[in-house]
Structures are given as C-alpha cells and as structure tokens.
Chains A and B, each alone.
Chain A
Amino acid sequence: MKIKLEQLKKEAIGKLDDFLALVEKTPQEAQEKFRELEQQFLGRKGKLAILLKDLKDLGEDVRKESGEFANNIKKDLEGRFGEVFAKIKIAEPTDASIDVTLPGTKKELGSLHPVTIIQKEIEDLFSSIGFMILDGPELESDYFNFEALNVAPHHPARDMQDTFYLDKKNENGEYDLLMRTQTSPMQVRAMKKYGAPLRAIIPGRCFRSEATDSRHEHTFYQLEGIMIDKKINFSHMKGIMDLVGKRLYGEDTGLKMRPKFYPFVEPGSNGEYTCFLCGGKGCRVCKNTGWLEIVGCGLIHPEVLLAGGIDPEEYSGFAFGFGLNRLVMLKYGIDDIRLFNGGDIRFLEQF
C-alpha cells in the first residue's frame, strides 16, 4: 500500500513538474489543464481516491498506519498542487474598496556622495567632447607633485606647513613622498603614458596640511583637465572654458578671465562664470559681484610638456582645474566643508 502511495506521489509530482515546465499556453488554458491534472490525482474519482478505496480491505493495524501515511501523502500533494496553482492563477480583482491616497510600499534607498554626483556630471560633459577620464595615485612623489610641474625647489608650497609628507626617506635621506596637494601631477603622468595629442580629465582626492574648520579641509577634491594638440592656443582654452560654463550653468552663462599665477602654466588664468543663482545681478553667494570664481587654467608651461616627454615646439596645450567641493557647495548651498568627509547620513541621504 505504502509503496503504491509513494509511487502515486512521485507520479503526481513528476506530472506537475512537467506541467510547469511546459506552461506556455494562455493562462486560461493553463488553468484548465491544471484542473484536469488535479482531478486526475485528487478528484473524487481520481487516482488517490481509487487507491484509498482499497484501505477498507486491510487489517485494522495496517489500515490505521496506512491511513495516516495516505493522509500525509494527500496533504503533501494538496500542498504541491496549491503551490503550482499559485504560480499560474490569474489575479482576480478584489472587490474590497481601497484608499487610493495611501502611500506606496516604501522602498529603501541609498545615496551617492554629492561630490560623486557633480563629478559625474562634469565627466559626462568632457567625455562627450572626447576627453578620457583618468585616475591617479593620491600618495605622490615630490617629483610629480612639484618638480615636474615647474614648482621651484624652495617654493613655499613645498613647506611642511602646506604639504603632508610621508615619514619615509629616500636613499638620499630626503622626504620625497607626500600626499598630493593637487590633481596636477596627473598631467605629467598622463602625458608620459598616452603622449600627444591628449585630452583627459582627472578627478581626485587631494590633501593640504591645514587645520579644518567650516571653510578649510585637509582633504578635498579636484578635477584636473588637459588638452594637448598641435596649435592649441589661448583662444581655444577660452572656448572650452566657456563651453563648460554653459553646460554647467546654462546657455546664458558668461565667462570672465583674469591673470593668475600657477607655476605649471604660462599664461595662467582664473575663470569666473556668471552667478547661476542671481544670473549676474549680484547676491550673497557671489558676494554681489555677479560672478563666481570656479576654475583655474592656463597654457601648459613648456617645462611641464618636456617633463611629460612632449615636444613644446610641436605641441601646445592648456590645463585647467576645478575645486569639486566648491562646485558642490555652490550648487546645493552647503556652507560647511567638513560635511563632505563627515559620514553623516542625514547629510548624505539628501543627494
């Protein structure tokens, strides 16, 4: 008896599995077919019912034991059929009324860091005009961070009070490892790796030995860019900087430039864009000037091109850099720079 029951169970499950594997008809047809199968095994005249009729012919002890066993099998099968039916059943609209104004099921959401968001925006802009996106070491050598960028050996920027040095001396007994103070060392690394012509941006983390308060951070984020090709000139640099302003802040955004000294460019410049908050009328954010200082740029110094293995007679180019913290702070009206590295979800989840 038990053996027969087991066999029946196996057969039923096998059929169900086959049925599921083959469901490709319309839901109605599938349901019909399912009902057939259900009748075939569990129906009043189904296989199980027929088998159970034999129960009464058994001796009392055996009958009781087999009855229990059969019952279990029946429950099992009913369960199985139920599961399968759940998979193919056609949802029927419920008649109960619903409060349509109830909120949807809450979905838990994470967030991207605001610097990631703005960085991506700028990356997309530059990739669309043919710039590569590169990444580079945050722990740099004195050579790439300063020397290759034409920063004089005793330039104040190299002081301990401005730059974090690593407590690890080179063979000459000098500290030559540091936390990069700018993304600019990647200019020379990129030139060495990819040569000219070259178009690339390099976002990244930078460091300065500076006590933190609401406006100063020892860890901050920059985005560097370079473009090197034949006959690249000042007018082109303005063209690209203008394009960036318009893409960041809208078509009416103007560009204003003025001289600024950086050792690795000549001429060097600061770029200001029309304040996006007041449209140039003057407000608190732009300190009533109507302009926001956003970018530093310049034509790449020939010494820097040489350090990157590029012939300044043949190629020229420009470089530029954005302070990502500043862009984010302006965009979202953030007034405390420490929030960026503070890890406070109440801040992070807003982006």
Chain B
Amino acid sequence: MKLSLQWLHDFVKLPKSVSASDLADKLTNHTVEVEGVEYQREAFSKVIVGKVISVAKHPNADRLRLAKVDVRSEILDIVCGAPNLEEGQLVAVALIGAILPGGLEIRESEIRGEKSFGMICAEDELGLGQNHEGIMVLSKKAKVGQDFSVYLGLDDTILEIDNKSLSNRSDLWGHYGLAREVSVFYDLKFPDYEEFCSPEIIGPFSEKLDIKIEDSILCPYYSALKIINVTVKDSPKWLKQRLLAVGMRPINNLVDATNYVMLELGQPLHAFSAEKVNRLVVRRAKKDESIETLDDKEHALDSEILVIANSDEPVAVAGVIGGGKTGIHDGTKEIILESANFEAVAVRKAAAKIGVRTDSSVRFEKSLDPNFCPLALRRALKIIQETCPKAEVLAYFNSGSTKIKSEEIKLKASWLDEKIGETLGVEKYVNILRGLGFAVEIDGDILKVLVPTWRAAKDVKIAEDLLEEIVRIYGYNNIKISLPKIEMVAPKVLPEKILEDKLKTILAFDNALHEVYNYSFVGENQLNKLNIDPSSYLHLVNPISSEHTMLRQSLAPNLISNARTNQFKYDSFGLFEIGRVFIDISGNNEKGGESSGRLPYQEKNVSFVIAGGDNVFSRAKGVVENILFRISSGNVGAYFLPGESFPGFADHEKSARIMVGSEELGLVALLAKDISKTIGLKKESVIVEMSFNSLLEIFLAHRNSQYLDVSKYPAVKRDLAFVVDTEVLYNDLRESIASFDPLINSVELFDVYQGTNLPAEKKSLAFSVSYLSKDRTLTTEEVDSLQGRLLVLLAEKFGAQIRNY
C-alpha cells in the first residue's frame, strides 16, 4: 500500500524536522514495514515543459511529423506521431535519458531517416490516465523549461508499505489508521474522523430503498444512500492528485470519491447507477448465474459467492467488484452508494474463485470494522457534494449491526514488567494504549482495557496482544538485552542425530561421495522409465509440476537422475543422500488434535549412487562395508546375498541384499542396461539404499563396545586358494571357513581369479585364514591338522580344490 505524506498531513501535523525517511524508520520499527520512499518529483525526472514552435511533414512517413520544440535551454527536433500536435502548444517533453513511469527509457533515435531528440508525451505514457488519443496538451499556466512535476504540482512523498506486514491489521489499510500510529510515535493530536464527514444522515427521506439482506452471516451490515442530482465529470485536481500519488488511476468524480474514502479510511464503497437498479438483494449466487464485471470480463458464479443482485441478475460480487452494466457511466444522474461489511473469508474465497483481486477485496479479507460503514458513507457524501453541489440524499438504508464483540482485558502492570524484562511504569503503559485508541481504566495495579472496535474485529483479544502494543510502540530496540538465568542442564543428545552426522562424514570424507539434497517428490514418468510401479505412492492433491506429483518411496530415482545430469562432467563420481521416504502405511507420529490416527510412515533412508569407472559394484559394496565398520567400532561386517525382489531398475543378477547377521539392511543394485539406455545414462551405475533405522540399531548395539584384549600368543596365518565352480558363492565359502572352528579368528578374501589358467566354469578364491588362541601358542602341527580337516569339509561341501601355489 502506498501512503501519501500530504494526505497523512490532513490528520497529523508532523513537525518539519521529521523527514520522510525518519518517518519510514519509525513505521518500520514500530508498526509496519516500509519498503521504500518515493519522491514524486523524481518520477518525472528529465520531463519538462516545452513549446511547439513549428510542425513539418516527415519526408518519409505520412503519419509522422517533425516538430521543433523549445525547452528553453535549446530547441529540439522531435519526431511525433500524434494527430493533435499543433504549433504553439505547450507540451510535456521527455528528454533523452528520461525514464517514464511505465519504464520507457528515452534515447536519441532515428525514425524513418529523421533524428529525434526526445518525446512529446501522451497522458498514458506519463502514467496519468488512459488517454493515448494524442499528446497531452498543457494549460497556459505552464512555463517553458519548467519541470513537469512542478507544473503538475506533484511534490508529494510516498511511502511504500509492505502489504504482508499489514495482513493482521485491517485498521491500517487507509491513511487515517496509519496516521493514528504516527500520532502516537510523535505524541501528536489525532482528530476524530467525524470532523471529515458530512453531518449525520437523519432524514426525513422522501424515498425508501428496496434492499434485502438474505445472508446476514456473510453480510453482517449493509448501508446505502440514494443520491440524486449528480453529474459525472473529471475530479478536481486535488482529488486526482491524491489518487495518482498512491497509484490509483482517476476515473470520474463519483468513482474517485469512493476510491478516495477507501484509501483514506480503509472501507471500500461501491456506487451503482440508480437508474439501472430497481432493487438490491444481498444473496448467494445461484447455480449457473454469471456476471459481467466492470473490467468487461464474464465470470461464472456459484452458491459460495455472495452477490448483490437486482431483480433479475447479480450486479456486483460482494466486496470484490461491481458489474459493468450497473456501474457509473457518463450519463449517470442518480447513484446508490453502498457501504457494507462483508465476511472476510467469503470475500477472499469469492475473489479467488473468480480470479479477481481488487483493492476492495484485499481490505475485506482482513476483517473490517463495521463501524467504518456509516463514516465512510458520510465522508463520501461530503466529497460528492463538493464536486456536485446540487447532490441530495433521497433515501438511506441500513440493516444489521455494527456491534463487535469486544471484551474488557484485565492486566497487571507487574505482569507487563515481567514479560518485557524491565519496568517501564504504569504511566507509560497507559499512555501508549490510550494513544492507540484503547480505553484504559486504572484500578490499583490492574489496568482494565477496552479494545476499540477497529482493533477488536480481528487482532486484539488477550493480554499478550496488549503486551505487543506496548512493546512495539516503546520500541523493540529500546528494550535491554539480557540472558536468561536458568538452571544448567546438559542437553540430551539424540543418538539418531549423532549417527546421521557420522554417516555424512563417512560418506563424504571416507568415501569421496558428494552430498545431495533431492526433492521429496517424484513423477509418474520418472518412475515408469525406471520400471517402478507407482500405484502405492502417496499423491499430492495440488502438485505444481508433473515431475513432482508423488512422495518418494525410495531415494534411488532422484539419485539416478543426478547420475544422469552429472555424467558428462566427471569420469567417475558418487553422490549420497540421507532423507525421508514416504509410504502409505501408519508411521510413528501422531496426527494430533481430535484424531487418534497416525501420520504415514516417513523414516529415513541412506542411499548413494556410484557411476562410472571400474568395478562400480565392488566399489559400492566397499562403501557399505566401510559404513558398517565405522558405525560399529569395527565390530560388524556386512555380507551380501543374492535376492529375488529388487527394484524394477536393477539388474537382478547383479544386485545383492546387504546383510548384517540375519538382518537385511538394504540393497546394492547395478542399474539394468536397458533401463540405463531408456533414461540416457551412459555410465555403469550402482545404487545402494539402506534403512537408517537398521543402521541405528547397529550403531546403538556397538556404541559401548569394549576393548578386546590383544592376544599374548601369535596368530598363525595361512593363505589358501580354492578352485570352485563359478556358481559357488564367496559368502557361503567364507561362512563355512569362519564357522569351522573357534580357533579361526579371521577370514579375509585377497584374490578372485577366473580365466586362462583355469578351466571354464571354475574360479579361484584365495583366502587368508588366521588361527589364534587366547591361551596358548598354536603349534604348526595343530594348525596343519585343523586346516587338513577344513580342506576335507570344503571339498565335500563345495567341491573346492586347493589351487597349488
């Protein structure tokens, strides 16, 4: 919202010493955020008054003419296309370098071979009206060489206020309300709005308005005046200037009067041409009804939209916009001026439904004080009577109540001291509240506060609200800084947090993977390409893109996309993410409120992709082993098993389940070739995905693992290479060796060979087996005998033959 300082001066006499930026700071620090200060003079910088000395034909264009324009310092050649250009006219000339309100920058140019050193402006180019019929011809008062803003008398200063910061303050959507705040900052006298209104409308009235309110919930209060003997014409200069200053385009004296009151008090008004409406009914729209609004657009309506209708059809969408047919037109002689209170949510919804948000709807959405309605009518009447002295009130209608529920709030000064953290004193508290229009009665230490109607509509209900009023006016920055004095407690540290940090370090720094944050969403097309069935996925009602319609059930799809987008920039790379996945089954968190249900499952997964380079599968498994080693203080080793059910994108023959003990933690999957081809991933890629909670269990189980005595006796290490059929799995062989005898304390694979020195269908697996006893030195004979029995077993079980060294 734009705030004109000249307008503000109607209500508060600001000392000269207060600059616009001082005021902007005050407003920002105490009430609402001022986003900028705009000096009107600057809006027309490099636009000056010029006199057309001669007009000649353009040699190469019929519609264009060449003007010589005197701007006092020089005489400019300007090419102009306006039909109304004549010698002797005083005109607004935009010089080279001027930037017009619409953003047009004036440059030296050549038009059809003729040079042009500026532009003679039309009204619309200057942002002063809609007229583009021709150039704007200035009055005789204009002086050649004068700044155009000086000619217009535009020397107002405008503060741009952030609308968002006004969202809970319906009383600040007009100059009067903001002036009240300003009066408190500088301790200035603040007038009653009555002073600016025509006298109370009491009648008698010669006519009765036929108005019916059918929905008093959506329209708690409605009032209207029938005014006759009005003439539609241009508004007087002061009125136009005020509107222009705050960015409202002047239209005609009647419409301008309604807009003026809205911008001043915050109460929107609407004027109907009386001859076009026989009666008014405030009701919900009927199915299939529609309305053509002032902006010439047709809008379908429905029963949730409140309308003002005449006997046949809607003539306005209540609180949002009027109808085209019944609006003010050039011949209007009589008007019905509406000043009503509409329910905030209904107005917001109606505006959203028809897709039209207006200055009016924006205000109604904030919950307006119905007590503004009669004031606004009388203020508008006063302005209309100024432009149409013969205007006369023929009828007055009002219905509903302007009462607002406003309870007395009791609070103790000592409570305020305690909440603020320092004592400002009862007097200060009372002065601030009274300045803002609160009625305060002091009863010992207790303040009994009555909230004014314009604050009771929405924002002030409890003692804490009053605390805010006091603190903000006193100034947040004036309150001293102190640190709480409380009992020391060591914060509880959650193990899941420790593990997550640890995992990130392991993945990024032990394993050279880059952490990504991917979207929690996936799209149907994406899943289809990866051969993943989306039928069990949770969907968004209102996705904003077809790529993000569902909640991910796995971190893999987005990591695969990452692999694809990065593939040409790096030979080999890896990315990881720790994030939540969402599954449509009951999870651990309560929904809360009245529901006894639970939120859907949304636990974390740990996932990474390794793409490109040699041995991707083995490298990925290496990372898994590293993770488990590190989170279990070296106590847990992972092993890998083939499986039946892998995600659709996996090469099932080249994927494995990640196991620890008998628990499955997740999977390692090589991306299937056909899938890679479909999605355009040229690098061999492996995806690993594990359950964070499973890792957490392991982490917790080994968090307090004890130091193991280093054996005093030597370990005996023997290397054994076996030749087995290729189908024999490493893991089975390893298991058999490791569990063969308690004296075997470690089994490490150190070589796998398959190739020329071996028969086809055979592979060699070489293990380093270590034998250790805690209570004696093992003899060579003892180890030999153990190993002998082991070889027999392996030969029986797997057909394993010792490969001769």
Chain A residues engaging chain B, CB cutoff 8 angstroms: 10-11, 14, 17-18, 20-22, 76, 108-113, 115-116, 120, 127, 130-144, 147-148, 154, 156, 159-161, 164-168, 170, 175-177, 179, 188-189, 197, 199, 205, 207, 209-211, 218-219, 221, 227, 229, 231-236, 238-240, 242-243, 255-261, 266-269, 299, 301-302, 316, 340-341, 343-346, 348-349
Query: Which interface class (under 10, 10 to 19, 20 to 34, 35 or more) fits B?
Result: 35 or more
Contacts of A112 in B (CB 8 A): 504-505, 508, 515
B716 within 8 Å of A (CB atoms): yes
Contacts of A209 in B (CB 8 A): 542, 544
Q: Are A175 and B165 in contact (CB under 8 A)?
A: no
State the Cβ distance, A177 to closest chain B Cβ, in Å.
7
Q: Residues 465-481 of chain B: 1 if any A CB is under 8 Å from the residue's CB, otherwise 0?
A: 10110011000110111
Q: Are A266 and B515 in contact (CB under 8 A)?
A: no
State the Cβ distance, A15 to closest chain B Cβ, in Å.
8
Query: A83 to B298, alpha carbons, bound, how many Å?
Result: 91
Contacts of A159 in B (CB 8 A): 352
Q: Residues 36-59 of chain B: 1 if any A CB is under 8 Å from the residue's CB, otherwise 0?
A: 000000000000000000000000
Partner of B511, one of A110, A137, A144: A110
B589 within 8 Å of A (CB atoms): yes
B215 within 8 Å of A (CB atoms): no
Instruction: Find the B residue at minimum CB distance from A219.
Output: B519
Q: Are A141 and B518 in contact (CB under 8 A)?
A: no
Q: Are B561 and A259 in contact (CB under 8 A)?
A: no
Instruction: Find the A residue at minimum CB distance from B167.
Output: A261
Contacts of B573 in A (CB 8 A): 345
Q: Are B471 and A346 in contact (CB under 8 A)?
A: no
Q: Are B471 and A234 in contact (CB under 8 A)?
A: yes
Residue from A116, A199, A238, A343 having most chain B Cβ neighbours under 10 A? A343
Q: Are B574 and A110 in contact (CB under 8 A)?
A: yes
Contacts of B419 in A (CB 8 A): 233-234, 299, 316
Query: A209 to B489, alpha carbons, bound, how many Å?
Result: 40
B801 within 8 Å of A (CB atoms): no
Contacts of A108 in B (CB 8 A): 512
Stretch at the interface among B24-32, B127-135, B647-655, B729-737: B24-32
B202 within 8 Å of A (CB atoms): no
Q: Are B508 and A110 in contact (CB under 8 A)?
A: yes
B371 within 8 Å of A (CB atoms): no
Query: A214 to B196, alpha carbons, bound, how many Å?
Result: 48
Q: Are B514 and A349 in contact (CB under 8 A)?
A: yes
Query: A109 to B574, alpha carbons, bound, how many Å?
Result: 10
Contacts of A136 in B (CB 8 A): 589
Task: Take A229-B486, A267-B468 as given contacts and tell me if A168 and B574 are in contact as well, using a CB distance cutoff of 8 Å.
Answer: no
B483 within 8 Å of A (CB atoms): yes
Q: Are A302 and B542 in contact (CB under 8 A)?
A: no
Contacts of A207 in B (CB 8 A): 520
Contacts of A229 in B (CB 8 A): 484, 486
Lowest 7 CB-CB distances: which A-B pairs, in order? A21-B714, A235-B421, A143-B593, A267-B468, A233-B421, A14-B780, A343-B562
Q: Residues 560-594 of chain B: 1 if any A CB is under 8 Å from the residue's CB, otherwise 0?
A: 01100110011001111001101010010101111
Contacts of A259 in B (CB 8 A): 29-32, 468, 472, 476
Q: Are B483 and A240 in contact (CB under 8 A)?
A: yes
Contacts of B714 in A (CB 8 A): 17-18, 20-22
Stretch at the interface among B118-126, B390-398, B595-603: B595-603
Contacts of A143 in B (CB 8 A): 591-595
Query: A126 to B250, alpha carbons, bound, how many Å?
Result: 56
Query: A136 to B465, alpha carbons, bound, how many Å?
Result: 30
Q: Are A239 and B541 in contact (CB under 8 A)?
A: no
State the Cβ distance, B34 to closest chain A Cβ, in Å.
10
Stretch at the interface among B236-244, B313-321, B490-498, B790-798: B490-498
Q: Are A341 and B519 in contact (CB under 8 A)?
A: yes
Instruction: Find the B residue at minimum CB distance from A317.
Output: B484
753-790 of chain B: CB within 8 A of chain A: 780, 784
Contacts of A140 in B (CB 8 A): 599
Q: Are A205 and B593 in contact (CB under 8 A)?
A: no
Task: Take A143-B595, A218-B544, A343-B561 as given contacts and tell me if A132 and B491 are in contact as well, using a CB distance cutoff of 8 Å.
Answer: yes
Q: Are A239 and B28 in contact (CB under 8 A)?
A: no
Q: Are A170 and B512 in contact (CB under 8 A)?
A: no
Query: A233 to B471, alpha carbons, bound, how many Å?
Result: 12
Q: Are A115 and B479 in contact (CB under 8 A)?
A: no
Q: Are B491 and A235 in contact (CB under 8 A)?
A: no
Task: Take A110-B508, A132-B492, A133-B497 as given contacts and tell me if A256 and B477 are in contact as well, using a CB distance cutoff of 8 Å.
Answer: yes
Contacts of A234 in B (CB 8 A): 419-421, 471, 476, 479
Contacts of A343 in B (CB 8 A): 516, 518, 558, 561-562, 565-566, 575
Query: A151 to B484, alpha carbons, bound, how many Å?
Result: 29
Query: A113 to B576, alpha carbons, bound, how many Å?
Result: 10
Task: Take A234-B479, A257-B476 as given contacts and tell me if A348 and B580 are in contact as well, using a CB distance cutoff of 8 Å.
Answer: no
State the Cβ distance, B315 to closest chain A Cβ, in Å.
27
Contacts of A111 in B (CB 8 A): 508, 514-515
B707 within 8 Å of A (CB atoms): no
Residue from B28, B420, B592 having most chain A Cβ neighbours under 10 A? B592
Partner of B518, one of A164, A341, A349: A341
Chain B residues engaging chain A, CB cutoff 8 angstroms: 28-33, 165, 167-169, 344-345, 348, 352, 365, 418-422, 462, 464-465, 467-468, 471-472, 476-477, 479-484, 486-494, 496-497, 501, 504-505, 507-509, 511-520, 538-545, 548, 551, 558, 561-562, 565-566, 569-570, 573-576, 579-580, 582, 584, 587, 589, 591-595, 597, 599-600, 602, 714-718, 780, 784, 805
Q: List 23 A-B contacts (CB under 8 A).
A: A21-B714, A113-B516, A116-B515, A130-B490, A132-B493, A135-B494, A164-B542, A165-B540, A176-B591, A179-B540, A211-B544, A229-B484, A234-B421, A234-B476, A238-B482, A258-B30, A259-B29, A266-B464, A267-B464, A302-B462, A348-B515, A348-B575, A349-B514
Contacts of A167 in B (CB 8 A): 538-541
Instruction: Find the A residue at minimum CB distance from B593.
Output: A143
Contacts of A176 in B (CB 8 A): 591, 595
Contacts of B579 in A (CB 8 A): 205
Q: Are A144 and B780 in contact (CB under 8 A)?
A: no
Q: Are A164 and B595 in contact (CB under 8 A)?
A: no
Query: A18 to B777, alpha carbons, bound, how many Å?
Result: 9
Q: Are B542 and A154 in contact (CB under 8 A)?
A: no
Instruction: Find the B residue at minimum CB distance from A15.
Output: B780
Q: Are B566 and A235 in contact (CB under 8 A)?
A: no
Q: Are A302 and B494 in contact (CB under 8 A)?
A: no
Contacts of A76 in B (CB 8 A): 805
Residue from A167, A205, A211 having most chain B Cβ neighbours under 10 A? A167
Query: A160 to B352, alpha carbons, bound, how many Å?
Result: 11
Contacts of B421 in A (CB 8 A): 233-236
Contacts of A236 in B (CB 8 A): 421, 482-484
Query: A136 to B591, alpha carbons, bound, how many Å?
Result: 12
State the Cβ distance, A188 to closest chain B Cβ, in Å.
8
State the Cβ distance, B354 to closest chain A Cβ, in Å.
15
Instruction: Find the A residue at minimum CB distance from B31.
Output: A259
Query: A334 to B486, alpha carbons, bound, how many Å?
Result: 39
Q: Are B542 and A135 in contact (CB under 8 A)?
A: no
Instruction: Find the A residue at minimum CB distance from B591.
Output: A141
Query: A142 to B419, alpha carbons, bound, how many Å?
Result: 30
Instruction: Find the A residue at minimum CB distance from B473.
Output: A259
Given contacts A166-B541, A231-B418, 4 further A-B pairs with CB under 8 A are A135-B494, A137-B589, A235-B482, A348-B515
Q: Are B593 and A148 in contact (CB under 8 A)?
A: yes
State the Cβ distance, B234 to closest chain A Cβ, in Å.
38
Task: Take A127-B493, A348-B514 as given contacts and tell me if A232 and B558 are in contact as well, using a CB distance cutoff of 8 Å.
Answer: no
Contacts of A257 in B (CB 8 A): 476-477
State the Cβ distance, B650 to closest chain A Cβ, in Å.
21
Query: A22 to B777, alpha carbons, bound, how many Å?
Result: 11
Q: Are A165 and B422 in contact (CB under 8 A)?
A: no
Contacts of A165 in B (CB 8 A): 540-542
Residue from B484, B520, B595, B600 having most chain A Cβ neighbours under 10 A? B484
Q: Are B565 and A132 in contact (CB under 8 A)?
A: no
Query: A120 to B28, alpha carbons, bound, how many Å?
Result: 33
